[in-house]
Structures are given as C-alpha cells and as structure tokens.
Amino acid sequence: MSEFAPAPSTPSTIRGLSLVPVKQDLWRVASRSGVVLGHIQRIAADDGDRFAARRLVFALRMVEIGVFCLMDDAADCFRS
C-alpha cells in the first residue's frame, strides 16, 4: 500500500484543521478532535491549480462547497 504525501507547499494543517492525504491531489479534512469534515481536491488547470472543497453531510454524502484558487480559502469553508 503506498501513501501519498501532500505536495511540498501543502501543509498538513491549515488554521487548526488537519489535512490527511487520501490519494494524490486529494486530502481528507478533519477537525482538531479528529472528526472528518470533508475533502479538498487539487485540480490542475492551465492557469494554475484550483482546490475544490466538499463537505461531508450525515456521513453519507458529499456536498460541493466551491472551487478556490488557494488551498487556504478552500480550508476556510470547513471552519465554523
């Protein structure tokens, strides 16, 4: 089993949220207490990377929050 690590410029925590690599370009977002909140996925584009945020709802489905130019902005969606 191989484990994917975040890109060198991607921290493992952002503003108190834990980013756990799931596969290349996909991170699970968890709170400080370990509760899974959703995912952030890096999307490569000609004009630079984008970061799609998806929130986990009732542990059964994901809801698209938005696509952002910065990983920090995508992570802010999970802070409440």
Q: Look at the alpha carbons of 25, 30, 36, 37 in this order and tell me if their dihedral is positive or negative.
A: negative
Render each residue's pLDDT in the chain as its tens digit; 80 residues.
444 444 545 668 777 899 999 999 999 999 988 899 999 999 998 999 999 999 998 777 889 999 999 999 999 989 86
Q: Give the number of domains in the chain.
A: 1
Residue 40 belongs to some domain of the structure:
yes
Residue 6 belongs to some domain of the structure:
no
**What pLDDT does residue 32 have?**
87
Residue 31 belongs to some domain of the structure:
yes
Beta bridge partners of 22: none
Residue 5 belongs to some domain of the structure:
no
Q: Residue 29 belongs to what domain range? A: 13-76
Q: Given the DSSP bridges, would you call strands 26-30 and 61-68 parallel, antiparallel or unpaired?
A: unpaired
Residue 49 belongs to some domain of the structure:
yes
**What pLDDT does residue 9 have?**
52
**What pLDDT does residue 5 have?**
46
Q: How far apart are CA 78 and CA 45, in angstroms?
A: 24
Nearest residue to 54 (alpha-carbon basis) of 69, 36, 80, 70: 36
Residue 30 belongs to some domain of the structure:
yes
Residue 3 belongs to some domain of the structure:
no
Residue 50 belongs to some domain of the structure:
yes
